[in-house]
Copies of this chain bind each other. A is one copy, B any other.
Amino acid sequence: MKKIEGGITAPQGFVAAGVKSGIKKSGKEDVALIVSQVPAAAAAVFTQNKMAAAPVLISRENAAKGKLRAIVVNSGCANACTGERGLIDARLMVTTTANLLGIAEDEVLVSSTGVIGVTLPMDKVLPGIEAAAAGLSVNGHEQALHAIMTTDTFPKVCAYELTLGDTTVKIGGVAKGAGMIHPNMATMLSYVTTDAAITAPVLQQALNAAVNKSFNMITIDGDTSTNDTLAVLANGLAKNSLIDNVSHPDYAAFCEALTNVLIELAKLVVRDGEGATKFLEVNVSGAASQEDAKTAAMAVAKSPLVKTAFFGEDPNWGRILCAVGYSGAQADPARTSLRIGGIPVVSAGLGVKPDLEALRTAMSASDIVVEIELGIGDYAATVWTCDFSYDYVKINAEYHT
C-alpha cells in the first residue's frame, strides 16, 4: 500500500467539485459533488440517532440498492429536525443532482451538515449544485474537501495505491468531523472512492468490518449526531478480478486497505476534535471479552475527568482506573496495570513510584498512549480520543444557533 496524492479523485473515473453557494455565513465553500463517471457499487453506514436528519432517511434508501454514482453534500445547515419540509428539500437536492448529471435519482446520496433545526436555503443550495455540476473535474477535490467542512480546522483526506493480483487499484477518502463524534454508527461525514471491482454486498461487509476498527473506535464528546454518514463507491475501472465474495483471494487485502484509510481518517477527525490539544490512544488488553476491551477503553476515552486531566498534563491515574471500574467491563484492581506514554504508573492496582521527570515529559507530548492491562483474559481494543480543553467549552458555548 503506497500513499498517493489526489484524494477522492485519485481513483480512476472520479471527479469532484466544491462551490460557494452562500449557505455559510463565512462565504466559504458549502456545496460539494463527488461523482463516478460510470455506475459504482456502493455501501454505506448511517447514524443510529432516532432524530436522523432528512438526507439520512433518503440516502439510507438509495444506498440500500447498492449502486450509486453521485454524492451531493451541503455544509452550513444540517437539514435535521426539519420535518416534512426537510424531506422535500433533501429530495429536491437529489432530483436536481440526478437531472444535471443525467443519472437516476436513486443513484444519488445526499448529506447535510451544520446547524440543526433550520431549513435549507434552497435558493442558494440549488444554484450551488448547478455550479458544482458544471465545475466537476479531477482537480475539484480540494474545493470539495472544504465544502463539507464545518468547525473543522483542516481538511481530512488520504489516498493509497495497492496491488490486487497484478492490478493497481486506488482508494481515496475524505472526512469531516470535529464535535459530536462518537461511535455506535457511521460517525460524521466520510466518503471513500475506489476504482476497485467489488460487488456491493461484499463491499458492505468490508465496510462494516472496517468501521468497527476505525470510526466506531473514536470519541470526542460522546454525542452522536443526526446526520452521520459514511459511504464507499467502487466503480471497478481498475479492472481487477471482481471481488464477489469474502473468500476471494483479494478480499483481505482490499479490506485491509479500506480499514487503513478509515483509521487514518478517523484519527484525523480526533486530531481536529473541538478544542483538542492532545491526541490520546487508549489501549486496553487482557480483557475478558472483545466487548469488555472496547467498553473499558471507551469509558476511559469518554471520561471528562480523564480528558481534563490530560489537558492539565496531570498523570491522574486514579481517574483512569475509576473509569475502567464503572465501565461495566470485568475488572479487578489487583490485576490491573497501567502505563502512560510507556511509563509504568500502576502495577497490580497500586501506584508505582514513577520516573517523575520521564512521566512529565510523556504527559507534555502532543500524542500520548495509555495502556491498560486488565490481567483477566486475552482480548484487546484501541480507542482514539482527545483531551478536553477550555477551547472545547468556548467553541461549544459560543457556537450559534
Of the stretches A63-71, A110-118, A160-168, A248-256, the one at the interface is A110-118
Which of A226, A333, A348 gathers the greatest number of chain B CB atoms within 10 Å?
A: A333
A392→B308 CA distance, assembly (Å): 9
B333 contacts A51, CB within 8 Å? yes
Q: Is the CB of A221 within 8 A of B322?
A: no
Interface size on A, residues (CB 8 A): 69
A116 B319 Cβ-Cβ under 8 A: yes
Contact across chains for A331 and B50 when beta carbons are under 8 A apart? yes
CA distance A61 to B271 in the complex (A): 46
Q: Which of A319-351 contact B (CB under 8 A)?
A: 319, 321-326, 329-334, 336, 346, 348-351
Whole-angstrom distance between the Cβ of A317 and the nearest chain B Cβ: 6
| Contact string against B for A residues 167-193, beta-carbon threshold 8 Å, 1 for contact and 0 otherwise | 000000000000110101000000000
Could you tell me if B81 and A349 are in contact, using CB atoms closer than 8 angstroms? yes
Q: Per-residue CB proximity of A181-219 to B under 8 Å, as 1/0?
A: 010100000000000000000000000000000000000
Q: Can you list 11 contacts pairing A with B, beta carbon distance less than 8 Å?
A: A48-B326, A50-B332, A83-B350, A180-B305, A182-B326, A223-B322, A304-B396, A308-B396, A316-B401, A389-B397, A393-B393
A contact residues vs B (CB 8 Å cutoff): 47-52, 78, 80-83, 115-118, 179-180, 182, 184, 221-226, 302-305, 308-309, 311-312, 314-319, 321-326, 329-334, 336, 346, 348-351, 388-390, 392-394, 396-401
